[in-house]
Amino acid sequence: MIRPNIHVLGNASVSAGMPKSGYSANVQAKVCARTISDMLNNRDPGDPSYMNTCYSIVRKDYGISVSVVYSFDETNNQIVKVKGAGGLTPSDASDEALARESRYAHGWFHNITNDMYS
Ligand SMILES: Cc1cc2nc3c(=O)[nH]c(=O)nc-3n(C[C@H](O)[C@H](O)[C@H](O)COP(=O)(O)OP(=O)(O)OC[C@H]3O[C@@H](n4cnc5c(N)ncnc54)[C@H](O)[C@@H]3O)c2cc1C
């Protein structure tokens, strides 16, 4: 159900294709803040774009991830996956690539916590 001027994000939202994740909640918060700012300033909010990456650290120097880009489908009023945009760690990834994924995971955690709390 859509209620004008009520903005719901994160786990409490019905955001269809997007997973319930901290990454999603953070991206949705940014889109939401920008949209409210545009509405207050009589600007067109434009077409939002969203992204989610889930990292898993399997063991030391061994990380994997899945990333998906999303857009907003105005016809059905829901967030939908953008076909072909995103990626998954290949099952035959090299040790070097898996170690890099692990570093990315730590980097993402560092960045998102700084983004939220500082
Ligand atoms: C074990 C686990 C691992 C996870 N790992 C990851 C990960 O690696 N990466 C990732 O991106 N996401 C991860 N997630 C998901 C992520 O934690 C959530 O999607 C994210 O925290 C959602 O944020 P939110 O602000 O929407 O909701 P929440 O973080 O749940 O915040 C809601 C807040 O509202 C408060 N609240 C509830 N009811 C009321 C009320 N009536 N009045 C006032 N306050 C209220 C709650 O106490 C809570 O503090 C993980 C989740 C779990 C459980």
Query: What pLDDT, on the 0 to 100 scale, is given for residue 22?
Result: 94
Per residue in 76-90, pLDDT (tens digit) is 888 999 999 999 999
CA of 12 to the centre of ligand 1 (A): 9
Per residue in 28-58, pLDDT (tens digit) is 999 999 999 999 999 999 999 999 999 999 9
> Has residue 93 got a pLDDT over 90?
yes
Locate the ligand 1 atom nearest the alpha carbon of residue 56 and give its number: 8
Structure tokens at 1: 């159900």
Locate the ligand 1 atom nearest the alpha carbon of residue 52 and give its number: 11
Residues with Cβ within 6 A of ligand 1?
A: 10-12, 20-23, 25, 54
The larger pLDDT score, comparing residue 68 to residue 6, is at 68
Nearest CA to ligand 1 atom 34: 12
CA of 32 to the centre of ligand 1 (A): 17
> Has residue 15 got a pLDDT over 80?
no
Name which of 15, 7, 3, 18 is nearest 82 in CA terms: 18
What is the mean predicted confidence (pLDDT) over 91-117? 96
Domains defined for the chain, CATH in brackets: 10-117 (3.90.760.10)
Query: What pLDDT, on the 0 to 100 scale, is given for residue 82?
Result: 96
Instruction: Tell me what the pLDDT averaged over the chain comes to.
Output: 93
The percentage of residues in the chain with a pLDDT greater than 70, rounded to a whole number, is 98
Distances in Å between the alpha carbon of 13 and those of 4, 46, 50?
A: 15, 21, 14
Query: What pLDDT, on the 0 to 100 scale, is given for residue 24?
Result: 95
CA of 97 to the centre of ligand 1 (A): 30
